[in-house]
Amino acid sequence: MRRTMKLTVATVGLFTAVAGGGVAFAASAMPTPSGGTTTPAPASPTTPRTPEPGEAEAKVKREAAVKIAQDKVPGAQVTEVEFDGDETPTTWEIELRKGTVEHEFEIDATTGAILEQDQENETGTDQDDDQDDD
């Protein structure tokens, strides 16, 4: 009887630890190849989040960068926001979705200028507007 009780308590404790760790892992920011981190768009405006490294020094804050992108695609939903403090200049990478089209923006975190704008529909058709001559 005692052995069964210990085994049951140990199993419940292990399950609790694994479940709690999975939630913590799923909620963390993910590193990207460019050295920044990817943070999913918040579930609601009141959801607290941890600022990414270098984000506090950016002149253009997260909300302003999102607004710049959304002003170009009214009605689009934010799907991802990433701050890249390793690039010069530092940038915000914003992904929006409207219908079947995904819009990607790279916004200068110092000036708010749109450095790149790209859109792709679900069929894979790509349209690039990176504001350079190539």
Question: Which tens digit of pLDDT belongs to each residue from 73-84?
Answer: 999 999 999 999
Q: How confident is the model at residue 28 (pLDDT cuts 50, 70, 90)?
A: very low
Strands 101-108 and 91-98: antiparallel
* pLDDT (mean) for 45-55: 77
Encoded amino acid at 113, one letter = A
Q: How confident is the model at residue 37 (pLDDT cuts 50, 70, 90)?
A: low
**CATH class for the region spanning 32-43+50-134:** alpha beta
The answer to whether residue 47 scores a pLDDT higher than 50 is yes
Encoded amino acid at 60, one letter = V
| Nearest to 116, CA basis, from 106, 103, 108 | 106
Q: Residue 115 and residue 99: Cα distance in Å, rounded?
A: 24
Q: Which of 22-26, 43-47, 102-106 has the lowest mean pLDDT?
A: 22-26
| Nearest to 96, CA basis, from 79, 83, 82 | 79
Q: Write down the pLDDT at residue 33.
A: 52
Q: Residue 91 and residue 52: Cα distance in Å, rounded?
A: 12
Higher-pLDDT residue of 113 and 4 is 113
Q: What is the mean pLDDT of the chain?
A: 75
Helix (H, G, I), strand (E, B) or coil at 111: coil
Q: Write down the pLDDT at residue 51.
A: 82
The answer to whether residue 90 scores a pLDDT higher than 60 is yes
Per-domain residue ranges of the chain: 1-31, 32-43+50-134
Q: Residue 68 and residue 80: Cα distance in Å, rounded?
A: 14
Specify whether the CB–CB gap between 78 and 110 falls below 8 A.
Answer: no
Q: How confident is the model at residue 32 (pLDDT cuts 50, 70, 90)?
A: low
* pLDDT (mean) for 105-120: 96
Helix (H, G, I), strand (E, B) or coil at 54: coil
